[in-house]
Structure 1
Amino acid sequence: MTRMTLSRRELLRYGVAGSVAAAVGVSAVSSARFAAPRRLGDPFSLGVASGEPTSDGVVLWTRLAPDPLAPDGYGGMAIDPVTVDYEVAEDERFARVVARGSAVATRALGHSVHPEVGGLAPDRWYYYRFRAGSAISPVGRTRTAPVPGAPTDRMRFAFASCQAWASGYYTAYDHLAAEDLDLVVHLGDYIYESSWTLGRRGATMPPHLTDEAVNLTGYRLRYAQAKAEAPLRAAHAAFPWLVTFDDHELDNNWAGTNPGLGIDVYLLPPLYRRRKAAAFQAMYENQPMRLAQLPVGPSVRMHRRYGFGDLAEFTMIDTRQYRTAQACGDGSAVVGCDDRFDPDRTILGAAQRDWLIDGFAASTARWQVLGNQVAMAQSDYDPGPDLLLGTDAWDGYIADRNTVLGAATDHDVANLVVITGDRHENYVADLRRDYRDPESPVVATEFTGTSITTGGDGTDMSDTGRVLLAANPDLKFYNRQRGYVRVDLDHQQWRNDFRVVPYVSREGAPITTRASFVVQDGIPGALEA
């Protein structure tokens, strides 16, 4: 269900004023309180999280689930709503509480709550916790951003993607949680819908966790399975997050109104729309997202901006929901696909593309960071004279790539850096305004981060990596181990550290920095540190 399916009876239960906000777990503005069951167990088994920070506030998140993998997808909760209280404090012991409030957790949204806390001081750390009945959640830590445009010397953040549960252990998140960061950006494939990703841990899974997720129950269980992992919960509790989706939150290689490569019956438009609505709702229920990201049926607004003083502006884009279907097949690598150049083909949609370009013109931040799902750089898989290019990434949408990179040049965006997931590999690539012209200038840098687990243990180099390095002169680094990317940013330099673990097939892997690259202020393109 979404907010459009809440019944009149449900809304009336929360009072007339602010009824929708209460019903979706943002705030409880009426005087009514809804008691927690006396025997609730541990309702905070999925942890706590925060996200979408501004200079005066942040959204908090938790979801009540004493039995998170219950087959019905409701996490062991009954039908009744529950009032969830929250506190925000300047100290971990909550001696200096600066904000208190309540939100109503309802069955309609999986008993999740997303209180949006305002009135906080800029550029500082806070602690938060929840209470449901007599149960108290773990303590989370979050921080506000500096005031927009305020002088800001430094920022540290990490980005991650692609965490198929059965491909391995989430050890990388143990290490990420111990980093000194201001923010975490997750670029998609937080869950995987398909049953083919299951089994590598050697666990025997019940049927309700091995079938492909196609409905709300199935998607809820995928998120519960991921959040059952302590390293992921620790990383959420340590920092505020910005999250988006790629394809596996819904269906492999889905594209706008076109289903992906999953179960064939979902080629039928009504069933596909229902599946999209379920996937989007499950994501909202399980992530620290604001009311602005609450889906309406099969639609959700995921493109948005996040500023960090005068230092950085993050533009999170959506390369799935508005795109034209992949050219020349299902997105696999092809040779000679002229449809890639069709000016009417889009990966962003006209409205989002205009919004992105307008942002280039308006921003005064030193660094422009584009949170992107699929590779933007040209990726030729043939070291010979032919171009062998996949069409699920920006290589299949040439007009949009040229428009975006051209606009960055025309608006004098001196420091555009694209951060990307999807590939399960670490890349460093220079981005050119037009790849058909060998003399086209380098206008930006793309750092592609590997997966947390997807692909299993991985390797430092592979045959695919050797081919890519031989065929793509703008590709400066390749690695196929698991891990995440850490970024240290100031006004003079972007430093990019590829943090990798040697294995994920068993727990306890150490972390190392496999390589580091820098981008200098005003000089597009990366250099090895």
Structure 2
Amino acid sequence: MSLSRRTVLLSGLAAGAAGATAAALPASAATTGPVRRLPYPFTLGVASGDPDHEGFVLWTRLAPQPLAEDGLGGMPARSVPVHWEVAVDERFRRVVRRGTVEARPTSGHSVHVELGGLLPGREYFYRFRAQQHLSPVGRTRTAPSPWSMPAALAMGFVSCSQYEHGYFTAYRRLAETEPELILHLGDYQYEYAKGGYVAPGGNPRDHEGPETRTLANYRQRHAQYKTDPDLQAAHAVAPWAVVFDDHEVENNWAGDTPEAPDPEFPARRAAAFQAYYENMPLRRTSLPRGPGMQLYRRLRWGRLTTVHLLDTRQYRDDQACGDGYQSCPTALDPARSILGAQQEAWLLDGFRRSSTRWDLLAQQVFFAQRDRDAGPLTVTSMDAWDGYVASRDRITRGWLAAGVRNPVVLTGDVHAHWASDLKLDYADPTARTVGSELVCSSITSGGDGADSATGSHPWLPWNPHLRFHNNLRGYVRTTITPKQLAADFDVLPFVSRPDAEAHTRARFVIEDRLPGLHLTRDNPLSAGRTSTSPADVDQQTVEAETRRP
């Protein structure tokens, strides 16, 4: 009986492939020279990312002792050759590419293999070997030809995975759906020392090490997250495209400005960027240069979809009137930008050049206006696009002026599911809808949360463009076709214990050339599966919005 792809990938990852040997690889790939034998080094799994129509990036990092305090993972202070293979079948009977790359101490013994020359729109499998050890097998794919119109793209997006706040079951549940592409929209890891950020009800797991400030700290923290088998399963099932938010460095940083005065912040940011690159399947174009890193970029999926991956941290002006909810005239200053002038110009140019059916803005913080005051004041989050109103207006008018066919903003950060219609004038309830925003909940951040059968939130009555909210943890699955984008908001009943099952709390559709969200006929939104009353959910949500780091 043959094994299913899901069994090979997910069960193999759970076993860690620690018992595998290199006997299956050809002798020509054997390691030469007398070297100290390594313990099993693939404790952090494998990953792929940034696919285009000719290739992708393959990633792994050698770390026999992943939680070592020096951040070196128990590796010797020398380079180690790592052999890699790419095949068209999961048993590697038809290998199409192979090679060897050095895992160097200066890059934390991470490996980035940037491949080209492959066939478009194809599924591939990959693995690594170091000495006698084989890695788990990963599945990846190339994007379709730029001139083709794919029938569909199955894509998931996620954000905010605080290791201490719960188990990463949501990653595994997403992996089990076998998406073709996964976007991570930020807060992949958190910087706090053990107990520095406590979820309601307490933390079921603990961070290792101090608050991350040095390269060793950030390497250790990334390694701790990467040891999670559920995260490894999600990385191994599909290529990822990643962007950071604030916690990859520190809470609420903005450009060159840390949360609190810190003369060492440039060095801290440089260390965080270096560790981020070492631990993500990113191309060489994103290799950090000191405290700077080129992260905004585009992915194209044939003529169906362009994904504009944005960086809303590195170039933004400092938050106006503090980081929280304020009624702040400075937020309206036309000189302020959340993207910076260069990235804004790049994005607007991308709108003008786009020829795909769907343009997705994959980014970090809430785009639509979210006013928490029922009265005449506008009280909004200064850490989101509400703190950069003119910048949001320029981007929105930019896609309208360019005639972008279907603009959709994809967002993380707020630890809850939201869905919104986008407007040019949020003060006018009758203003026409000019786009849509889909916001994914957290993987774990905020703890278990609470369910609502109605998608309720106390701010919705005076924010009619906000269409849906749910405060459980989860992810969003999208199925994109030439005619529509369908979004399933999947949730888990708890993350404080492992192995929760996922279910779809709401399902929306965006029709081609018809901006705005539409409930599907089979929408489970009113199915009545609740853990608390809507009133209790509302109060918990308001309290969480007030205190969330």
Change over 3 Å in CA distance of 1:204–1:488 after alignment to 2: closer
Would you say 1:313 and 2:306 are equivalent positions?
yes
Would you say 1:359 and 2:358 are equivalent positions?
no
CA shift, 1:103, in A, is: 1.1
Q: Distance in 2 between matches of 1:477 and 1:464?
A: 5
Match of 1:375 among 355, 360, 366: 366
Match of 1:87 among 63, 85, 89: 85
CA shift, 1:153, in A, is: 1.2
Would you say 1:281 and 2:279 are equivalent positions?
no
Change over 3 Å in CA distance of 1:87–1:456 after alignment to 2: same
**Counterpart secondary structure, 1:74:** coil
**CA deviation map 1:361-412 (0-9, x unaligned):** 1011000010010000000111222211111000000111000000111111
Identify unmatched segments of 5+ residues in structure 2: 1-28, 521-549
Would you say 1:300 and 2:293 are equivalent positions?
yes
**CA deviation map 1:24-69 (0-9, x unaligned):** xxxxxxx9x8869433111000000000001111100000000000
Contact 2:192/2:210 (<8 A) preserved: yes
CA shift, 1:202, in A, is: 4.2
Contact 1:37/1:133 (<8 A) preserved: no
Q: Distance in 1 between matches of 2:356 and 2:256?
A: 35
Would you say 1:333 and 2:331 are equivalent positions?
no
Contact 1:383/1:467 (<8 A) preserved: no
Of all paired residues, the percent bearing the same amino acid is 48
Counterpart of 2:387 in structure 1 is 396
Q: For residue 277 of structure 1, what is the amino acid of its counterpart?
A: A
Counterpart of 1:489 in structure 2 is 480
Change over 3 Å in CA distance of 1:484–1:202 after alignment to 2: closer
Q: TM-score, normalised by structure 1?
A: 0.89
**CA deviation map 1:409-436 (0-9, x unaligned):** 1111120000000000100101112335
Counterpart of 2:15 in structure 1 is none
Q: For residue 425 of structure 1, what is the amino acid of its counterpart?
A: A
Change over 3 Å in CA distance of 1:223–1:259 after alignment to 2: same
Q: Distance in 2 between matches of 1:426 and 1:350?
A: 30
Q: Distance in 2 between matches of 1:436 and 1:388?
A: 13
Would you say 1:222 and 2:221 are equivalent positions?
yes
CA shift, 1:439, in A, is: 4.5
Larger deviation, residues 444-453 vs 150-159 = 150-159
CA shift, 1:210, in A, is: 4.5
**Counterpart secondary structure, 1:387:** coil
Larger deviation, residues 183-192 vs 115-124 = 115-124
Q: Distance in 2 between matches of 1:456 and 1:462?
A: 19
**CA deviation map 1:160-215 (0-9, x unaligned):** 0000000000011111111131100000000000221368444566xxx2421011
Would you say 1:241 and 2:240 are equivalent positions?
yes
CA shift, 1:343, in A, is: 1.0
Q: Distance in 2 between matches of 1:511 and 1:309?
A: 31
Q: What number of residue pairs does the alignment pair up?
A: 488
Would you say 1:197 and 2:201 are equivalent positions?
no
Contact 1:35/1:83 (<8 A) preserved: no
Q: Distance in 2 between matches of 1:37 and 1:314?
A: 44
Q: Distance in 1 between matches of 2:116 and 2:235?
A: 20
**Counterpart secondary structure, 1:467:** coil
**Counterpart secondary structure, 2:489:** strand
Counterpart of 1:55 in structure 2 is 53
Q: TM-score, normalised by structure 2?
A: 0.86
Q: For residue 239 of structure 1, what is the amino acid of its counterpart?
A: A
**Counterpart secondary structure, 1:276:** helix
Contact 1:34/1:83 (<8 A) preserved: no
Contact 2:354/2:404 (<8 A) preserved: no
Counterpart of 2:534 in structure 1 is none
Q: Distance in 2 between matches of 1:338 and 1:236?
A: 43
**Counterpart secondary structure, 1:345:** coil
Counterpart of 1:162 in structure 2 is 160
Q: Distance in 2 between matches of 1:446 and 1:202?
A: 32
**Counterpart secondary structure, 2:219:** helix
Q: For residue 278 of structure 1, what is the amino acid of its counterpart?
A: A
Counterpart of 1:18 in structure 2 is none
Match of 2:130 among 129, 132, 148: 132
Counterpart of 2:184 in structure 1 is 186
Change over 3 Å in CA distance of 1:201–1:37 after alignment to 2: farther
Change over 3 Å in CA distance of 1:315–1:460 after alignment to 2: same
Change over 3 Å in CA distance of 1:152–1:204 after alignment to 2: closer
**CA deviation map 1:1-35 (0-9, x unaligned):** xxxxxxxxxxxxxxxxxxxxxxxxxxxxxx9x886
Q: Distance in 2 between matches of 1:143 and 1:202?
A: 35
**CA deviation map 1:422-474 (0-9, x unaligned):** 00010010111233555543111000000000000011249996222123110
Q: For residue 275 of structure 1, what is the amino acid of its counterpart?
A: R
Contact 1:484/1:500 (<8 A) preserved: yes
Q: Distance in 1 between matches of 2:423 and 2:452?
A: 25
CA RMSD of aligned residues (A): 1.9
Counterpart of 1:38 in structure 2 is 36
Q: For residue 64 of structure 1, what is the amino acid of its counterpart?
A: L
**Counterpart secondary structure, 1:115:** strand
Q: Distance in 2 between matches of 1:204 and 1:407?
A: 45
Contact 1:194/1:212 (<8 A) preserved: yes
Q: For residue 447 of structure 1, what is the amino acid of its counterpart?
A: L
Contact 1:139/1:237 (<8 A) preserved: yes
Q: For residue 197 of structure 2, what is the amino acid of its counterpart?
A: T
Would you say 1:466 and 2:457 are equivalent positions?
yes
Q: For residue 482 of structure 1, what is the amino acid of its counterpart?
A: R
**CA deviation map 1:248-276 (0-9, x unaligned):** 00010000011125xx5xx21xx111001
Contact 2:204/2:496 (<8 A) preserved: no
Contact 2:166/2:205 (<8 A) preserved: no
Q: Distance in 1 between matches of 2:360 and 2:373?
A: 30
Q: For residue 413 of structure 1, what is the amino acid of its counterpart?
A: V
Q: Distance in 2 between matches of 1:234 and 1:93?
A: 18
Would you say 1:413 and 2:396 are equivalent positions?
no
